[in-house]
């Protein structure tokens, strides 16, 4: 009974659109990658869900975001930190 329920739930939410992070990013311990690295203060794209950070600079020190630091989610959107 429980297996059937789990299979029904997984069929409702296909995972085909999700992609795993690259091996290089996982080895470095990064949670995200820069959207446009050439910018002085680029936003981050998080590997876990593919969402882009709301902010482009650290709310604490006002410097570039750190891709090795996890995000805090506010209303379902990631906020990056340094």
- Answer yes or no: is 57 within a domain: yes
Mean pLDDT to the nearest integer, 60-69: 94
Domain assignment of residue 64, yes or no: yes
Residue 27 backbone phi and psi in degrees, to 5? -65, -35
Q: The domain containing residue 42 runs over which residues?
A: 21-79
**Tens of pLDDT, residues 18-38:** 444 443 444 467 999 999 999
Q: In 10 A of CB 36, how many CB atoms?
A: 8
Asked whether the beta carbons of 81 and 69 are under 8 A apart, the reply is yes
User: To which residue do tokens 């590997």 refer?
Assistant: 47
Q: Residues of the chain with pLDDT > 90: what percent?
A: 62
Position 14 in a domain: no
pLDDT at 2: 56
Domain count, the chain: 1
Is 13 part of any domain?
no
Question: In this structure, is residue 1 part of a structural domain?
Answer: no
Structural domain includes residue 30: yes
Average pLDDT of the residues of the chain: 79
Answer whether 0.85 is exceeded by the pTM.
Answer: no
């Amino acid at each position: 009974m429980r297996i059937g329920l789990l299979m029904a739930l997984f069929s409702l939410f296909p995972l085909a659109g999700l992609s795993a992070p690259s091996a290089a990013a996982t080895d470095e311990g990064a949670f995200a990658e820069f959207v446009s690295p050439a910018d002085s203060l680029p936003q981050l794209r998080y590997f876990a869900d593919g969402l882009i950070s709301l902010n482009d600079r650290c709310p604490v020190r006002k410097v570039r975001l750190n891709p090795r630091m996890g995000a805090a989610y506010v209303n379902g959107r990631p906020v990056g930190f340094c």
